Amino acid sequence: MHKLVFATNNAHKIEEVSAKIGHQFKLLSLDDIDCHADIAETGTTFVQNAAIKSRFICNQYKLNCFGDDSGLEVDALNNEPGVYSARYAGKHGDHEANIDKVLQNLGSNPNRKARFRTVISLIWDGEEHVFDGTVEGTIRHERSGSKGFGYDPIFQPNGFDITFAEMTMEQKNTISHRARAVELMTEFLNGLS
């Protein structure tokens, strides 16, 4: 069984990815490898931030690993909040304030097109590979639903009449940006064996 480090301690993300990558890989968190460093995401793109995490783990621990970065891009806001999605309103992880800021900045703008994007930087045997997953949708005028996290209550994926926050975890995982990026990475990893 191959060990693969996911550069996160987010239990929700670990669970989501573990369910997808199959049994030939043992997924490890940062805690599992005793990494307590604060890996600063100083990049200006999702690709840069994902690579910062994977390169740090590879350089420090010499392990196969991957890092991810994701966020919401709203067309009418020049793709904001983008890499600043978690701290758009100032304080990191204040989901309610972040949602308020997106809704306020959009106002009554009729262009509500948006997407969630996840980029994964995988370093396997010293080589870096990048996988990109997106899900297109629109921003609702008000919140709906109580599941999920982040911008889920205002994001309605194309082809659905409910938000991510109204979906079950199983529904969301079949179409989400992270699921799509993980599927691409999994196809690559399965091709190695």
Give the start-to-end residue ranges of the domains of the chain: 2-192
Catalytic residues: 69
pLDDT per residue over 23-37, tens digit each?
A: 888 999 999 999 999
User: Which residues, other chains included, contact 38 with Cβ-Cβ below 8 Å and sequence gap of 6+?
Assistant: none
Q: pLDDT band at 190, cuts 50/70/90? A: confident
Class of the CATH-defined domain 2-192: alpha beta
At 193, the pLDDT band (50, 70, 90 cuts) reads: low
What is the per-residue pLDDT across 64-118, written as a single tens digit (0 to 9) for each? 999 999 999 999 999 999 999 999 999 888 999 999 999 999 999 999 999 999 9
Report the binding-site residues for substrate: 8-13, 70, 149-152, 172, 177-178
CA–CA gap between residue 170 and residue 35 (Å, rounded): 30
Written as six digits, the tokens of 62 are: 């010499």
> Over the chain, what is the mean pLDDT?
94
Burial tier of 42 (Cβ tally within 10 Å: 0-12, 13-18, 19+): exposed
**Residue numbers belonging to the annotated binding site for Mg(2+):** 69
Q: Which whole number is the average pLDDT over 169-181?
A: 89
* 9, 38, 72, 108, 192 from 30: Cα distances, Å: 6, 10, 25, 42, 24
Which residues are documented as binding site? 8-13, 69-70, 149-152, 172, 177-178
